[in-house]
Amino acid sequence: MRIVDLINKKKYGEKLTKDEIDFIIFGYTKGEVPDYQMSAMLMAIYFQGMDKEETSYLTDAFVRSGDTVDLSAIEGIKVDKHSTGGVGDKISLIVTPLVASCGIPVAKMSGRGLGHTGGTVDKLESIEGFKIELTSEAFIKNVNEHKMAIVGQSGDLTPADKKIYALRDVTGTIDSIPLIASSIMSKKIASGADAIVLDVKVGSGAFMKSLEDARILAHTMVDIGSRLGRKTVAIITNMDQPLGHEVGNANEVREAIEVLKGNGAEDETEVAMTIASYMAVLGGAYKTVEEAHAYFETLIKSGAAIEKLKTFVEIQGGNPDLIEHPERLPVASKHVEVKADLEGYVSGFDAEKVGISAMMLGAGRKKKEDPIDYAAGITLKKKIGDHVNLGDVLCILHTNEEKTIEAEKMVRAAFVFSGIEPEPIKYIYEIIE
């Protein structure tokens, strides 16, 4: 085989075999295929696409390019969830104790955030003492005894994907559905889950801007999971505005606590409960999503959900008292109110601008090595459908930075106003099984 022949084959829209895809991926990982040839192959895939079989072969090659996590010592069906990324997305903090409470093991590896705000790991680290580095023995013990653990990504998982992703970033091939789907699914499969619930976000604050693209991505990932022996469900959710009212790290933890107490915002509660319910069904705890949903509602009302979160924090070295007293989580020194300079209804959002504004305040990273200010973030006081009077507070910026003018400009530009009350928005568009 020669790489140039395979580039030409894909360039003309022909299908690559499993052996040919292995030859390309393992050759590139070992350094035998140069960047310029891999770039040509990525561009050929970008324009010609890949069919379902090719995409599953590519995903499998990514998985086999490095380590895989062996979760066989954990009893039961291990269920994981993955979000394609959004603004104010604290869903993992909510669903982990819920799903663990019905006996389904949640053995989750999460990454740090780059861009808008911190990732799940960063949010958890805003809790005093919380350890995201656990030995494999402690990780397995926590999941077997308490049915839950979240740790930072470790080991050499999917090195081929990491190397190719860096190349996609500089060759204009990021937005290719087969490449996106195989990248996401390879990491989930290498992490050892038996079943996966995907939160595919669509809208102004998501990577996928159109419902049609989100639908194609969701179907592609569900198909990959099925072909590679993983029960997979994709839930397409709205990211035309941030989830809930808090964007940041410590403030998102506070908001997750409120959801588990039954006081959460409607959008994040509906999304979290739906994802948790599908995880419970895939894990075999319930036969129907309705049964699982009813159980979780009871769990929240009884106070058992918040107790499970306290247990989760405690078994990973964190201070459980902070769940009882979330006001003791990191708080910024400055709180800047952004007020409306016109009247009308909030009819839309550029959610990405809210995320960028939060990053400017210190809640996210521009580069991997940048520190995160756990106290920084934004509290939204108005969302889509709310009426706004002149001088009403649209949001509050929380920061320890001296200057906030640019962040204020950015977040103000995120609000879209209309003189007509908008139709209620959907939080969940569709579910693909």
Q: Which residues are the active-site residues? A: 82, 161, 168, 183, 187
What the block records as the tokens of 8 is: 């030409």
Cβ-Cβ contacts under 8 Å for 277 (sequence gap 6 or more): 286, 289, 290, 292, 293, 296
Q: How many beta carbons lie within 10 A of that of residue 333, not counting itself?
A: 9
DSSP β-bridge partners for residue 338: 395
What is the Cα–Cα distance from 141 to 164, expressed in whole angstroms?
35
What is the Cα–Cα distance from 356 to 277, expressed in whole angstroms?
32
What is the Cα–Cα distance from 129 to 227, expressed in whole angstroms?
41
What the block records as the tokens of 83 is: 């979000």
Measured distance between the N- and C-terminal CA atoms of the chain, rounded to whole angstroms: 38
Q: Are strands 377-380 and 393-399 parallel, antiparallel or unpaired?
A: antiparallel
Q: What is the DSSP string of 327-387?
A: GGS---SEEEEEE-SS-EEEEEE-HHHHHHHHHHTTSSBSSTT----TT-EEEES--TT-E
Cα–Cα distance list, 39 to 36, 163, 175, 391 (Å): 5, 12, 14, 52
Question: Sign of torsion, CA 190 97 72 195?
Answer: negative
Please provide the size of the chain in residues: 433
Q: What is the DSSP string of 8-65?
A: HHHHTTPPPPHHHHHHHHHHHHTT-S-HHHHHHHHHHHHHH---HHHHHHHHHHHHHT
What is the Cα–Cα distance from 385 to 378, expressed in whole angstroms?
19
Cα–Cα distance list, 125 to 103, 152, 153, 206, 314 (Å): 25, 11, 14, 24, 13
Cα–Cα distance list, 172 to 119, 134, 284, 325 (Å): 25, 37, 42, 47
> Burial of 159 by CB count in 10 Å (0-12 exposed, 13-18 middle, 19+ buried)?
middle
In degrees rounded to 5, what are phi and psi of residue 344? 145, -165
Q: At 257, which helix (H) or strand (E)?
A: helix 250-260
